Structure formats: structure tokens, C-alpha cells
């Protein structure tokens, strides 16, 4: 039976920075959790932080990856290394969805990433989260009746070592 997992979670500012070592730890956590949840497909928005870790984990496990881009030039403010990683993920993905081009998810400026997250949740079976339980996007998922598997407490306890 197919199990589509959407990865939502914090970016580097909430993860105390974004070093190669931190990305490796995030990816290891994502990989272990994706295996535990028996995912057959993964959706991610490929933001820096947890969403890129989810993508890298899925790719390392040869699990089909759907990338949901909130808007063109999502990566324009990132450094060269982060942009190259983003392009590699896009190249290796099974499908790329430009969420801002979908009429029912179209939004302006700051709301575009929120609409992207809503699209991912609307199109998955289970949400794999790395953020506070009280976040509005986790509440959105729960209101939509989606199961949420949140690894935030594990990250706080073990991830920053």
C-alpha cells in the first residue's frame, strides 16, 4: 500500500544555524524516520533545513521524490553551495510542482510558502514534521485529518550534539 509522506519543518534560523554537520544529522534523522514510517513516496518543499534533509534522505533511500516549489527563484537569496544542492535535488526528483501556478493555491509574497505547505499536506497520507506542535501548519494538518509524526522533541534532545 502506498504511503506518501510530506516533510514540513524548520529552516536554519530555528535549528541554530546550518552547518554541513547539522545537515548530516538532520538527514540521518529524516532517513531513519522515513524508513520507520515505511514511506513509498516523499513530498518536500526543499527549503533549507529540514525539507532539504527530507529530500536528501529520500534520494539516498531511492524513494520517489516530489518537489513542491512555492515560487520561481526560491533559491535566489541562498549561497552557492545551497543553490547547487537545491538544483541537484530538483534534477533527481520524480516530479516538480510549481504550487504558485495552481489557482487554488496561488498566493502573494509571504503566503506562498504557507500555500506550498498546505498543498503538500493536502496531497499526502502522513506529515513528517520537525517543528513545534503548536505551529499553525501542524494545526492545519490536524484539521485536515492528517496524521502527524513529529520528531521535534527528539531533535531538541539529541540533534544538536
DSSP3 helix / strand / coil % (the chain, rounded to 5): 50, 15, 35
Query: In the predicted model, what is the mean pLDDT of the chain?
Result: 92
Whether 161 has a pLDDT exceeding 80, the answer reads no
pLDDT tens, residue by residue, 58-106: 999 999 999 999 998 888 888 899 899 999 999 999 999 999 999 999 8
pLDDT tens, residue by residue, 102-126: 999 988 888 999 999 999 999 999 9
What's the structural domain count of the chain?
A: 1
DSSP 45-100: ---TTHHHHHHHHHHHTT--EEEEESSTTTTTTS-HHHHHHHHHHHHH-SEEEEGG
Position of cell 530555528?
14
**Band of pLDDT at residue 159, cut at 50, 70 and 90:** confident
pLDDT score, position 119: 97
pLDDT tens, residue by residue, 15-41: 777 788 889 999 999 999 999 999 999
Backbone CA torsion sign across 7, 13, 14, 18: positive
The C-alpha cell at 144 is 485536515
0.95 surpassed by pTM: no
Q: CATH number, domain at 126? A: 3.40.50.450
Q: Is there a contact between 68 and 119 (Cβ–Cβ < 8 Å)?
A: yes
Domain housing 75: 4-159
pLDDT score, position 36: 95
CA distances from 21 to 25, 26, 53, 62, 122 (A): 6, 9, 12, 22, 32
Amino acid at each position: 500500500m502506498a504511503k506518501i509522506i510530506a516533510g514540513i519543518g524548520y529552516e536554519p534560523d530555528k535549528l541554530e544555524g546550518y552547518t554541513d554537520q547539522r545537515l548530516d544529522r538532520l538527514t540521518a534523522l529524516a532517513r531513519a524516520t522515513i524508513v520507520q514510517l515505511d514511506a513509498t513516496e516523499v513530498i518536500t518543499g526543499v527549503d533549507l533545513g529540514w525539507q532539504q534533509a527530507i529530500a536528501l534522505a529520500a534520494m539516498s533511500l531511492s524513494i520517489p521524490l516530489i518537489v513542491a516549489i512555492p515560487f520561481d527563484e526560491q533559491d535566489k537569496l541562498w549561497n552557492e553551495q545551497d543553490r547547487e544542492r537545491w538544483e541537484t535535488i530538483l534534477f533527481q526528483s520524480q516530479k516538480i510542482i510549481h504550487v504558485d501556478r495552481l489557482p487554488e493555491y496561488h498566493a502573494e509574497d509571504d503566503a506562498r510558502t504557507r500555500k506550498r505547505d498546505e498543498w503538500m499536506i493536502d496531497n499526502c497520507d502522513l506529515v513528517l514534521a520537525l517543528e513545534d506542535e503548536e505551529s499553525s501548519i501542524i494545526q492545519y494538518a490536524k484539521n485536515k485529518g492528517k496524521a502527524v509524526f513529529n520528531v521535534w522533541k527528539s531533535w531538541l534532545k539529541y540533534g544538536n550534539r
